[in-house]
Each structure stands twice: as C-alpha cells, then as structure tokens.
Structure 1
Amino acid sequence: MASEDYFQLFGLPSQFALDSDALDATWRRLAAQVHPDRYATAGAAERRVAMQWASTINDAYRILKSPIDRARYLCERAGCDLQTENNTRMDGEFLMRQMEWREQLDEARQAAGTAQVEALAHDIHASRRDIESAVADLIDEQHDYQTAAAKVREWMFIEKLLDETQSLRNELRDRRH
C-alpha cells in the first residue's frame, strides 16, 4: 500500500490542478467502504486490512487536499527529492525577499504594530498565490519538476512565515485584551 498512487486511488488525473469536489466525494465514498463499523464482525485479519486501507485513504486525501502537499507529492513521484532537511539553496531574489519579510516581522513585533503585521501578511499571501500559480504551471504545463521542487521549498518557507505572522497577530490581540 505504501507505493499506492494517490491520484489513481481517487480516480483523478495525476496533476496539480484538482477537482476538489470530486476529491471530497471520492474520499467520502472510499472512507465509507472501509469504515470500521462495516468490519465490526469480521475476522481480525480483515479488520486489520480495512484499517490499513482507511489509513491509506485518509493519508492520500490529506496530501491531495493540501496544495503544497500535493505539489510536493507530485515532485517526489517524478523523482525529485525536495531535500527539505538539508537543501537550503534558494533563488537569490527570494532570499532577499525572505530577509526583508523577517525584518518586517521583527519590526512589527517590537512596535506591537497590528497594521504592520496585517500589511506583511497581505504581502506574504500574495507571494504564496504567485508561487502556487508558478508551481501549477511548472508541474501541469511545463512538466519541470526540478524547478517546481525548488519553488515548493520556497513555498514551504512562506507557509512557515505565515504561521509566524499569525502567531504574532494572536499575541498582539491577546495583549490588547
């Protein structure tokens, strides 16, 4: 089951663009087929297989539902190891932008500036939309998984920075109350 093609499992084309309604409907159907209640009176081996399939279906759904996880999955299936643990190489322009965002986040934290945080979050969200669009084109149109993998690493940084921005928003909100 570990080598299962998640797109094939859900009857979807192996591409970044995805019909989320079809994904959701197929997940509900598949999950119902292997639901533990259906196997309550089955033997131990049959219950174990159903549970393994349920786990595979849920993992597949989680990965395909998330655009960044789906992009990563497609790149890895195409043979591109994202090397997220040890590959920190990124485009020079992106590195400069990353440093600017970090500085802006630090300044907003020091100034307790809600407006600064909101402006920064808006800017980062726009960059995330741009990267998602670029990754979609690289995977579905150009089939350039190597470049897409590099963009996914950038996207992962953006997600981390958005999480930090949201944490600062919460922190500033809590200070006001």
Structure 2
Amino acid sequence: MAQNSGTTSGTTNALKGDYFELFGLPQCFAVDVAALESAYRAVQGQVHPDRFANAGAAQRRAAMQWAAQANEAFQTLRQPLKRAVYMLGLHGVDVAAESNTAMAPAFLMQQMEWRETIDDAVSAGNPGALERLLDELRDEKRARYQKLGEWLDSKAYQPAAEAVRQLMFIERAEQEIVQRIERLEDLA
C-alpha cells in the first residue's frame, strides 16, 4: 500500500481476503514459518502508522485496520491450533469446543488415564512421573498435528474438527503438567 496513492482500495481488498491471501501463502496446514514472517514484515512495513502520519484520516484508519488484521493473521497462522481452527472456519466448520465436548471413547479413556497419572504423581510428589507424562503428551501431540494436517489438506473437516478438540485438551493438560512440575520443584 503506497502512502501517496490517494486510495484505500488496496487495503479494502486485503481486508476482505483470508489470512493466507494477505501473506501470499498457499492455504495448507503446513506453513513455511520463514515465509510467513517475511510476508508479515513486508505487510507491516507497508502499513506502519509512521508512514501515514501526514495522510488523511481515512487512509490512517485503513492502515491501522490493515495493520491490526496483519497482526491477528500472523498470530493465527503462526500457531498450529489457531491455524487449524481458522482453516476449519474458512470452510464453514465450527469447532464448537465449548458446546461440543463429545469425544471418541478411546480418547476419553486416554484422558482419564492421563488425569490419574497427573493426580498420582502430584500426590506422590513425583516430578519425574510428570515429566515422563509430559514427554508422552508431546509425542501424542506431534502425531495428532501430523494427522490433523493430513485431514485439513484433504478436506476431511469433521475428523479435523474432532482432532482440534482433542488437541485443545492435550495442550491444556500439557500446560497443567508444566505448572505442577514447577510447583513440585519449588517445594523440593
């Protein structure tokens, strides 16, 4: 977007496009992070508020909107779980994580086992057991992200949405375990 163009149509068009289009990236789950960062810097360089200090109010406002969208788009595409939710939304699939808590029975059993392991390790004051579980969860997360990418790229949106809900649980459990390890280590 050029400062002296006298129009905001380029910005308006960019604001209507999806996040992948904004950065000129293909719409696929596996994002080239270096290309994303480079495209983000280029977009931010075009719409930085300092470039529009002497522009009209409409151009300044449009530049601020574009910069805000670029920030949101970058944060969304940079984080795999947010990227997956966004991609599903582009195709009309709502993950509905708050209202759709239905999970496959095998995953529910796995959740209960993980919860029991967390509780047992905390009760025993055993950070080593928590660290082993954390490693297991991270391996599980990597495998699920791999499968999620395959589903998204092959347009299998319903299993992808279920995988997103499962990954949300795994990431919350991972954060909880890290916090509990820190607490146990602080007590030692």
Fold shared, TM-score > 0.5 on shorter chain? yes
Q: Which residue of 1 aligns with 2:49?
A: 36
Question: How far, CA to CA, are the matches of 1:3 and 1:153 in structure 2?
Answer: 28
Q: How does 1:93-172 map to 2 (within 5 A)?
A: 93-140=106-153, 142-172=154-184
Name the larger-Rg structure.
2
Give the letter aligned to residue 114 of structure 1.
P
Q: TM-score, normalised by structure 1?
A: 0.94
Structure 2 SS opposite 1:147: helix
- TM-superposition CA deviations, 1:44-73 (whole Å, max 9, x none): 332221111111000000010011111111
- TM-superposition CA deviations, 1:36-95 (whole Å, max 9, x none): 111222233322211111110000000100111111111111111111111000111111
Question: How far, CA to CA, are the matches of 2:16 and 2:93 in structure 1?
Answer: 16
The structural deviation recorded for 1:3 is 4.8
Question: How far, CA to CA, are the matches of 2:130 and 2:66 in structure 1?
Answer: 43
Q: What is the root-mean-square deviation in Å for CA atoms of aligned residues? A: 1.3
Give the letter aligned to residue 58 of structure 1.
N
Question: How far, CA to CA, are the matches of 1:51 and 1:105 in structure 2?
Answer: 46
- TM-superposition CA deviations, 1:91-134 (whole Å, max 9, x none): 11111001110111111111111101100100100110111011
Q: Which residue of 1 aligns with 2:4?
A: none
Q: Which residue of 1 aligns with 2:26?
A: 13
Question: How far, CA to CA, are the matches of 2:124 and 2:44 in structure 1?
Answer: 49
Structure 2 gaps, min length 5? 1-11
Q: How does 1:42-121 map to 2 (within 5 A)?
A: 42-121=55-134
Question: How far, CA to CA, are the matches of 1:100 and 1:171 in structure 2?
Answer: 22
Identity %: 42
- TM-superposition CA deviations, 1:118-166 (whole Å, max 9, x none): 00100100110111011011111x3101110111110011011011011
Question: How far, CA to CA, are the matches of 2:27 and 2:77 in structure 1?
Answer: 10
Q: Which residue of 2 aligns with 1:175?
A: 187
Q: TM-score, normalised by structure 2?
A: 0.89
- TM-superposition CA deviations, 1:15-41 (whole Å, max 9, x none): 101111110100011011111111222
Question: How far, CA to CA, are the matches of 2:117 and 2:33 in structure 1?
Answer: 35
User: Which 4+ runs in 1 deviate beyond 4 A?
Assistant: none
Structure 1 gaps, min length 5? none
